[in-house]
Amino acid sequence: MATALAESAGAQGLSSPNPPVGAVVLDAEGRIAGAGHTREPGGPHAEIVALAQAGPAAAGGTAVVTLEPCNHTGRTGPCSRALIDAGIAAVHYAIADPNPQAAGGAETLRAAGVAVTGGVLADEVSRGPLRPWLFRQQHGRPLITLKLAAAADGRIAAPDGTSRWITGPAAREHAHAQRARIDAIVVGTGTALADDPALTARRADGGDHPHQPARVVLGHREVPAGARLRGPGGPLIDVRSHDPHAVLAALPDALWVLVEGGPTVAGAFLAAGLVDHVQLYQAPVLLGGGAAAVDDASVTTLAQATRMRREAVTELGDDLLIDFAIERG
């Protein structure tokens, strides 16, 4: 299952709005014969990719999948039937499919005489690449991460407005790798006009990642014709509003959205209750002045502050990446 979980990372961003699933097929002797992840919508699911790699070795073997095999026919056929037809003898999955349209694969497999086990490493898998899809199934909207890159005193720019680069190369490389896994990245027109960002997902060698997120600009001002946002990269989506809910309306199929705008956009999403996860890239720098990371006019007293729960701390060179989950009553 750990191998299947690692495989599923390759589907994140690529498979949306379908779940990013990983699968491994073992032969009858317990040796890995195939592994894969879900492809783009309309392409094969993870089980089909793994079965194709395994070929005849799948007969009498075992399939290990991060999500219960689907049981419906859409743009592709049901994976439960493909596993049965391949002669798989046992299936182990982590998470039961919460989508009633696709659920029922476990029952179909059992009815065909396949041994089925659910819940394998379920907690670990639910915190992995499936997390945004599971969130959308429960809440009907994408998981929204607020990204902050700040000095140790919470400033995102010096008093003269300079901000490149507060964090170091390891933190920037990590941030670009994450862009390659999300569906959309959001900034305000202030950031778009002041910084002229490309908002692309780039590798350390300067090349582009295969998957590029949609680039969303929130606000009423026009993105200039020669802006980098109009160049190569994901599609540009102009949302002529200051309401974060309008961003969600413009992204009906997104699973994971990254808010990377300035303090005003960050504050707007927080005030709207539309931040679920915060990633703080913190640099060992003290600026002493300049813009703060968040401008939320709705908070006037400590009792109104947004409370968070720390999930993880990662060292990235001299910087720290701190992951927080928003705590809601």
**Which residue numbers are catalytic?**
47
As a whole number of Å, the CA-based R_g of the chain is 22
CA distance 19 to 105: 15
Query: Residue 132: how many CA atoms within 13 Å on its side-chain side?
Result: 29
CA–centroid distance for 242 within its chain? 24
Single-letter residue type at 39:
R
Residue 180 token pair? 């390659």
Nearest to 177 by CA among 198, 200, 148: 200
CA-to-CA separations, 251 to 33, 81, 130, 141, 182, in angstroms, rounded: 38, 32, 19, 9, 12
* Termini Cα distance of the chain: 34
Asked if residue 181 lies in contact with residue 311, where contact means CB atoms within 8 angstroms, the answer is no
Residue 160 token pair? 């003269």
Query: Dihedral of CA 241/242/243/246: which sign?
Result: positive
- Strand, helix or coil for residue 8: helix
Answer whether the bond into residue 165 is a cis peptide, omega within 30°: yes
CA distance 242 to 265: 8
Strand-pair category, 62-67 with 184-188: unpaired
